[in-house]
Structure 1
Amino acid sequence: MSHADKRQRLCRKACVGLAAAGLLALPAASALAHAPQPAPQATLSAEPSPSGGFPALDDATAAKLDRAVQDVLKKTGVPGVIVGISAPGKGEYTRAFGVADKATRQPMAADFYSRIGSETKTFTVTALLQLAQQGKVGLDDPIGKYVDGVPNGDKVTLRELAGMRSGLLSYTATQSFYKALTTDPTRRYTPQELLDYAFKAPKPVIFAPNAQFNYSNTNLILLGLVVEKESGQPLSAYIRDHILRPAGMSRTSFPDDASFPTPHAHGYTQQTATGKTEDATDWNPSWGWAAGAMISDLPDLRIWAKTLATGVFPDGTRMVSPEMQKQRLDTPPTSIPGAGYGLGIFDVQGWIGHNGSLPGYQSLTMYLPGQQATMVVLLNTDIPYGPQQEEPSTVFGQALTRVLTPDHVYNLPAAAQKDMTPPPTP
């Protein structure tokens, strides 16, 4: 594999996770038309609705899901995966498959913690929306009002940053960042150091604001700085106090270092200087920060799937106002059929939420509003699958939804996750 190919892989997946997923991977999708914006997909309702059309999670359905997961494990070579599915009145399906440690063959377990990569973006943008409804920031304010030194900072808005339409180069797409990360994956980065990789590149602006969709982790680093400045708290503390605690998500954290609560699986990656598989369990996720450094587990992500999609905490209080939630869920479509991206959230064939990916781990947390169905997938590798270099979390999501919701099959093509930025100058 050439050095350029390895770099492109990292930027597609370590980009916590692609996106996130990449570095944070995710639907880095194709271009959208410039103004006017395409008509948004139907805004998803926060109101309860019956889970009609969703199968009972009985023994027969569980057997089908077991086979689907085992087939994906076999063909992708993923070491281990945790799957959780639930819907009101339909029961729950919780399983762990494969191994958590390839050396000892320790089995995967459903109570393991996992790094969740780009799902962190959903928390950072939620924090931004809370500050916006308090009048502390304006979504249509230019980022230059809050952070100095941003290319096009007088034009790019907070809304365009949250919606991946800023036109700012992702720092994870630069050769200089790739070299730094693969040289020392235990290094701790500051937010400004991450921004410098993008802003000091030969072409830090790759298109005019709102001209296209392009998944950029730079956007979230900037939004994290806005949250800190306007809230007066470190980002991790703000998310803990105003999102995690009210949601009852006691097993979700935003570490400021490489700490990783136990129990957890070992994570395996090929986002390395040599392209060989390495154990990335203890790599420092600070390079993902507001875009991808968080940790969670299956029960907490089940809570988050619905909370994120509805804007309502489990106790019935509002996480964000109905108007702010409506803005978040207006997801202009990309050129990928059935896929749209709103404010730190995406919609793929009706499933809304986010995926995550960083070296060693991938995750998928989705909610189908019409059925109130939740799907969580956690796996301990980010190594792409097949000639199309598909995200393994996408392969699992597709297999599961073919069984559960054949009219809403989660299918985010690999092409949607490729970084659109030009390759950096060698």
Structure 2
Amino acid sequence: MRVPLRIAPDLSIECGVTVFRVGIGASVLADSTMAGRQAAESALSGLAGGEPALVVVFATASHDLPVLLAAVRQVTGDAPLVGASSSGQFSAGTLIPPGQGVSVLVLGSGRYRFGVASVSGLRANAFEAGRELARSCLAAAGPERDRHAALMVFSDGLAGDPQGLLNGVYQVTGAAVPVVGGAAAADRDLSETLVFHDGRVLGDGAVGVWIDSPRPLRVVSGHGWQAHGLPLLVTNVDGPVVHEIGGRPARAVYEQNFRYDDPMQELPTAWSQGYHSAHAFGLIEPDGSQLIRGAFIDEDGLIRTFTPLPPYSAVQIMTAGPDDLLDISEPLIADALDGADATVLLTFSCAARMDILRERGAEEAVRLQKAAGPVATFGFYTYGEFARTTGVSGYHNATLTALAL
């Protein structure tokens, strides 16, 4: 079956004398060849006979991914292709849950110029991989520059240090080029996560898209999490392991701040014993906002985060329920679309949010599309989100991030 698109059939906007068109398609067929072809054909029809300038693919890792990508490229041709394995996808208000489906977005030419590249070696040196990725994407975009740009990044969700990857990107791009995207995911477990570049499926790697634009490109983010308790100081940390907070054992401090009267406080998942989805660290930023850092208790009883907390950083214990997470949808979309004159909204959410939303999981996709109105929404559920705007920091957990094109 095809997943219906509940949006206006003409996904286009006039840019001077050029029409910028996009197309979206999705399939939940089990056969990888048939699913890839069906989703790609549906997406390509949105270009009204035009050639794609960029193809974006999100798919369950249960597909035969090389076969799936080959089927997509049989339809879309040699246009650059990027993407990632997902823990669910959403487009035009429809959720495809984990374990099934492929979603395809095709972007026409006319308004933006794209430069695509990929790197490997995140585990060995995420910082150097980030530098190489940014340089290669910029070079692939060609020598001519528009006034504005952004970088979209997908990385192996289980490889290396995602913030380190962004640090490397920042050294090349500086603060003027925002970064958006997400870490590849799996079907609610900690198995292999993969990114896509043209017909290749890459582990321990990242793929990026340099987006040159005649107008400013603004990356936005929001999470809906609420602080529980006073700020705390991380006093002893070793990579992803948090040993002490305020000079006390980290686990004792973390659990002391659990809201045990909250029915959402512990949501066991198949992929991380000891993971409490409804609790996280909030890394306090200079402006007082918090970057969400998911945490879990490992088999040795130690607190681990999905990316390291900086030594002597200030944090708060954060909590969230379904309404907290869903209520961020409308202000986030309004912020993303403010003055954007957009055709499509690239949106990235987190698998951890689905843990909390549970049976209300489909509501997020519906509310995002309703808030976007005639602008199509397209995205996937990640193992971490990228939204780097003014400073160096830009890796998030359990957060919504978006870029309007």
Fold agreement, TM-score > 0.5: no
Greater strand share, 1 or 2? Answer: 2
The TM-score bracket by the shorter chain reads under 0.3
Q: TM-score, normalised by structure 2?
A: 0.25
Greater helix share, 1 or 2? Answer: 1
